[in-house]
Amino acid sequence: MSAASKRPATYEDLLAVPDTKVAEIVKGVLYVSPRPAVPHARAASALGSKIGGPFDHDARGPGGWVILFEPELHFRGDVLVPDLAGWRRARMPKIPKGPFIDLAPDWCCEVSSPSTQKLDRAEKMDVYAREGVAHLWIVDPIAKILECYRLEHEKWLRVGTWRDDDKARIEPFDAIELDLAAMWIDD
């Protein structure tokens, strides 16, 4: 990951980044990261399908959510791309058709890579708190850990940490049980 310049980054700076990279603007700094490696992609894909099915797509599930992979979020000059984000349908009854969303999600998930660990856990967590994202999950596919945070009084409260082959009901999707082993690549 690299911070590109000393002046505040612009959206034009972000658009100039090749499609082979992930670009975000956080607190005026352009961060450019490599595309995620396979363990990262596996964790995000498995988690997205497990949650997206019953909460977004499958009429037999609890429903009530819109779940998106890598949406581009615009908040007061910040441009973030979480691995997964979810909005309660009551807050976002129609999915926007434009290239980005400026409505804060109710839930975000960052699948952390060694190159994005500091950005995900510091800068981006601060922006998500400022914007009122109610729940944040941080997943480390190498250590095989999922952490859940809840926003309370503008501060993050860690709700819990699960790892390896734990089975858990994790807010805000605690209506279903997640089998974490499905998210990891075997050693």
Mean pLDDT of 159-187: 95
Q: What is the C-alpha to C-alpha distance for residues 105 and 151, in angstroms, rounded to an integer?
A: 12
153 backbone φψ class: left, alpha, beta (φ>0; ψ -120 to 50): left
- Residue 104 CB: number of other CB atoms within 10 A? 18
- In the chain the domains, ranked by start, together with CATH numbers, are 36-183 (3.90.1570.10)
Q: What is the C-alpha to C-alpha distance for residues 93 and 126, in angstroms, rounded to an integer?
A: 27
Q: What is the pLDDT of residues 27-44, one digit of tens each?
A: 999 999 988 899 999 999
Please state the pTM of the whole predicted model. Answer: 0.93
Using only C-alpha atoms, the chain has a radius of gyration, in whole angstroms, of: 16
Q: What is the C-alpha to C-alpha distance for residues 49 and 163, in angstroms, rounded to an integer?
A: 19
Q: What is the pLDDT of residues 78-134, one digit of tens each?
A: 999 999 999 999 999 999 999 999 999 999 999 998 889 999 999 999 999 999 999
- Give the alpha-carbon dihedral of 155, 124, 149, 67, to 10 degrees: 130
Q: What is the C-alpha to C-alpha distance for residues 128 and 90, in angstroms, rounded to an integer?
A: 20
Q: For the chain, how far is it from start to end, CA to CA, in angstroms?
A: 26
